[in-house]
Structure 1
Amino acid sequence: MRQIWKSFRALYFASLMMLIGSGLLSTYLALRLAADNVDSLWVGALMAANYFGLVLGGKIGHRLIARVGHIRAYATCAGIVGAAVLGHGLVDWLSAWIVLRVIVGLGMMCQYMVIESWLNEQADANQRGLVFSGYMIASYLGLVLGQLILVMHPELGLELLMLVALCFALCLVPVAMTRRIHPAPLHPAPMEPRFFIKRVPQSLSTVLGAGLIVGSFYGLAPLYASQQGLTTEQVGLFMGSCIFAGLVVQWPLGWLSDRYDRALLIRCFALSLAVAALPLAIMSQVPLEVLFIVGFLCSLVQFCLYPLAVAFSNDHVEGDRRVSLTAMLLVTYGIGASIGPLLAGVVMKLFGSQMLYAFFSLCALVLVWRIRPKAVTNLHQVDDAPLHHVAMPDSMSSSPLVAALDPRVDEQVVQDQMQTTPTETELEPEPETDAETVAQRSSAEDGPPEPLDPDEHPHDLSRARP
């Protein structure tokens, strides 16, 4: 592990500085608007604009990198993001802030793509899991440190915006000074949305729900904490502890995910989130101790949904489609994260700040209703499922290239799939999660189907081949 840190410390440092700046900027803008008594709808719109920019950046970033190369693209985007951050201090017009947030999100996605393509090309196949773990640690640590800066500097002046711009300037240095081989050109992977909607609908539902919840959390939790009477320092500690919960839970989550039914785990975690969020959803004023404890517990659960959905979907998709699957999952997450802050901002404006956690509870209950472990037919389960769980970022701080870092994906298969467009996407795949459709099709072709054994769990891990 020490050798990996030494080999990739420059890219890890770049990721750390980027996430410090990004985490600090999101919380700063929410607190700044709260101090100016701006509607929560505007706060949600700013976070939605950021995620919308990240989704756009996945497409535009490929073209920019292909045209000017990785280092020039990274330097260009770092400069643009830094200028957009400082633009928040020059203009007080909220509509202009939304445009600036789109620019920040778009530029950061391009930066993520450059870093991840570099990690992918320089990492050995048998070390990708450790390489990606280091990348994830740097990302989460950056988000936490970004919140803790507010503890050390609680004044919401222009100094914080200058500090964010400083972080994006520093993240440029290790990439610009690198002596490593320039990464190979990128080849965009087709998403095939119709195929994945039919193949892994429950996973996509979970990813969409996770986007609604986590996007609203990053955008509106600082506003909620501020309206609960917390000072700027306390808001920083609250956000830092919640994000730290997302890092802490990844390792026990991996242990559970590799040993138990992942669909059942998703349903259990969604139900746990619905119950855990109720105290904060019901109480208009919450004691400080209760707020920190319940907020930490809710974060432990909410940050489990996306990684479980990713692992569950990979269990039912062939290796040569996993890059496309990751692109589809991230776009679905981005759509949810763009819509969530807007919806939550509206209900907070109409019914009070506690409606943020009521929104979390409602989204979690919808997932409890939508996820049905007994409906999983395993028609397309891969031979070695359940695949080894790999902890993944819970936010859009990763591009579709992140699938190539997954040690479960063979490097040559990924490269071949990214360089060729599948010709069989027009075929109708067998749905992975609709038992009734399978039974009806069997009845039409072969006569009455044999009755299913009600005692057989259709996703029993003991049936999976080692």
Structure 2
Amino acid sequence: MLSAVASFSSLYFATLLLLLGTGLINTYLGISLAEAQVSEIWVGTLIAVYYLGLVLGARTGHRLIASVGHIRAYTATAAVVTVAVLVQALVDNLWVWTFLRFMAGLAMVTQFISIESWLNEQTDNTSRGRVLAFYMVFSGLGTVLGQLSLTLFPELDFRPLVFAGICSILCLIPVALTRRLHPTVPQPAPIMLFYYLKRVPMSLAVVLVGGVLTGSFYGLGPVFAYKQNLSSDQVAIFVAAAVAAGLVSQWPLGWLADRVDRAGLIRINALLLFMITVPLWGWLDLPYWALLVLSCGLGVLQFTLYPIGAAFANDNVDPERRVGLSAVLLMVYGFGACLGPLLVGVIMRELQAGTLFIFAAVCAALLVAYVRPERVTGENLSQDAPTHFVPMTEIQTTPVVAEMDPRVDPETDISHNVDPMEEEQDAIQNSDDGRIPSGSG
């Protein structure tokens, strides 16, 4: 096992550096703009356009890699990300910053595609799950260290941006010097949204809410913490605690998710999330230690919605369609991550900082009301259900990583071969009076 993982050490290290810079800059933007009394709408917009770039850039990234190869595409887009970060240190204009964050997301997704293509193609079925797990560990660790690295900068001037730019440059070195053979260009799976909306509507709702909550927390969580009179170091630790707790909890929660009813587990998760947000609504003056405890609880509950929802969806989709399913899940999650910061930014501007968690409570309540075990009849249950829970972090991945999922057999998957228009028309024709089937996941 160790030899298989060690052989990808250069790609893991590149992922760590890539996420380190990203984790730092997202929190830095929230705190620095809050200090400057900038509207929460701008903070939410900067995070939203970054996630929008990640979602929209996947197809562009595939075409770029097909044209010039993996290393050239990775190098070019790393340069774009570095420039986008460093120009923010030179130009003090929020409209320019919005464009730069969109370009950073658009370019960065090509870097993820390049790394994940290597991991996917040069991994056999016996080690696929372990390689994916270590990739997720390094992704999460990079995000956590990025939050904590903000504590190195007592003053939020241009230096955190320079540090993020340095990380963006350093992540070139492991990829440029890797001895791995170049993989073939991956083929993106078609997005058959209507087919999966018919088959797994509840799972897609869980994933959408997970994206909304994650994007909102990354964008406005630092603003909330800053308005609780925390220092910039304490704000960084507040966010890092949530991310770290979400990462560590995925393995024990995965063990539980493989042994209980998943619809019921999602409902309990959402109910606990509702309860843990109540003290954060703004009606209590909480000490710092209490904020950290609640942050860890938030991380455990909100950052695990996506992998539980994905496992629930895989239970109700045929094995040969799971690559396409993963592409749809990531698209829906990314849409939620774009939508969440924009909505919460508007609400926080009009009301107060605690509305971030009032909004989270409303999202959790909607899941409690919508996801019910009695609505799952097993009509579309896959023959290998329940499928194994697979730890996943957030949308710092691409549909390429779907083929690394141990629940997927790339050799038999037909997601790339079907006609998306034909499937969507079939889904519409087979729908019963527009109602969501009760047996869907």
TM class by smaller structure: over 0.9
Counterpart residue number, 2:366: 366
Greater CA drift, 136-145 or 275-284 = 275-284
Where do residues 50-61 of structure 1 align in structure 2 (5 Å cutoff)? 50-61=50-61
Tell whether the 8 Å contact from 2:194 to 2:428 is kept in structure 1 after alignment. no
| Percent of residue pairs identical | 46
Counterpart residue number, 1:428: 427
Q: Offset of 1:247 from its aligned partner?
A: 0.9
Counterpart residue number, 2:237: 237
Counterpart residue number, 1:289: 289
Q: Offset of 1:418 from its aligned partner?
A: 2.7
Counterpart residue number, 2:395: 396
Please list the CA deviations of residues 148-191 of structure 1 after superposition, one character each: whole Å capped at 9, or x if unmatched: 11222222121111110111111111111122211111212111
Q: Please, which of 415, 418, 426 is the counterpart of residue 416 of structure 2?
A: 418
Tell whether the 8 Å contact from 2:81 to 2:103 is kept in structure 1 after alignment. yes
Aligned partner of residue 184 in structure 1, secondary structure: coil
Where do residues 47-446 of structure 1 align in structure 2 (5 Å cutoff)? 47-283=47-283, 285-393=285-393, 395-414=394-413, 417-418=415-416, 421=419, 425=423, 426-428=425-427
CA 1:411–1:203: 2 relative to 1, 3 Å: same
> CA–CA distance in 2 between the matches of 1:250 and 1:434?
38
Unaligned runs of 5+ in 2: none
CA 1:412–1:434: 2 relative to 1, 3 Å: farther
Letter in 1 for 2:408: V
Tell whether the 8 Å contact from 2:201 to 2:436 is kept in structure 1 after alignment. no
Letter in 2 for 1:85: V
Tell whether the 8 Å contact from 2:189 to 2:415 is kept in structure 1 after alignment. yes
CA 1:216–1:235: 2 relative to 1, 3 Å: same
How does the TM-score come out when normalised to structure 2?
0.95
Letter in 2 for 1:105: G
> CA–CA distance in 2 between the matches of 1:390 and 1:108?
24
How does the TM-score come out when normalised to structure 1?
0.90
Q: Offset of 1:34 from its aligned partner?
A: 1.0
Letter in 2 for 1:11: L
> CA–CA distance in 1 between the matches of 2:431 and 2:363?
23
Q: Offset of 1:273 from its aligned partner?
A: 0.3
> CA–CA distance in 1 between the matches of 2:288 and 2:178?
46
Q: Offset of 1:284 from its aligned partner?
A: 5.6
Letter in 2 for 1:145: L
Tell whether the 8 Å contact from 2:10 to 2:174 is kept in structure 1 after alignment. yes
Letter in 2 for 1:277: T
* Number of residue pairs aligned between Structure 1 and Structure 2: 440
> CA–CA distance in 1 between the matches of 2:252 and 2:212?
24
> CA–CA distance in 2 between the matches of 1:427 and 1:127?
37
CA 1:33–1:256: 2 relative to 1, 3 Å: same
Tell whether the 8 Å contact from 2:194 to 2:427 is kept in structure 1 after alignment. no
Tell whether the 8 Å contact from 1:376 to 1:435 is kept in structure 2 after alignment. no
User: Radius of gyration: which is bigger?
Assistant: 1
Please list the CA deviations of residues 339-369 of structure 1 after superposition, one character each: whole Å capped at 9, or x if unmatched: 1001111111111101111111111101111
Q: Offset of 1:282 from its aligned partner?
A: 3.9
> CA–CA distance in 1 between the matches of 2:75 and 2:284?
46
Counterpart residue number, 1:444: none
> CA–CA distance in 2 between the matches of 1:195 and 1:278?
37
Tell whether the 8 Å contact from 1:187 to 1:419 is kept in structure 2 after alignment. no
Tell whether the 8 Å contact from 2:77 to 2:108 is kept in structure 1 after alignment. yes
Aligned partner of residue 392 in structure 1, secondary structure: coil
CA 1:32–1:383: 2 relative to 1, 3 Å: same
Please list the CA deviations of residues 27-55 of structure 1 after superposition, one character each: whole Å capped at 9, or x if unmatched: 11111101111011110010001111111
Deviating beyond 3 angstroms after TM superposition, the runs of 4 or more aligned structure 1 residues are 419-424, 428-439
Aligned partner of residue 412 in structure 2, secondary structure: helix
CA 1:419–1:278: 2 relative to 1, 3 Å: same
> CA–CA distance in 2 between the matches of 1:10 and 1:231?
35
Letter in 2 for 1:256: L
Letter in 1 for 2:416: M
CA 1:172–1:187: 2 relative to 1, 3 Å: same
Q: Offset of 1:420 from its aligned partner?
A: 5.6
Q: Offset of 1:286 from its aligned partner?
A: 2.3
The answer to whether residue 10 in structure 2 is matched with residue 19 in structure 1 is no
Counterpart residue number, 1:8: 8
Aligned partner of residue 127 in structure 2, secondary structure: helix
Q: Offset of 1:417 from its aligned partner?
A: 3.9
Unaligned runs of 5+ in 1: 440-457, 460-466
Letter in 2 for 1:45: T
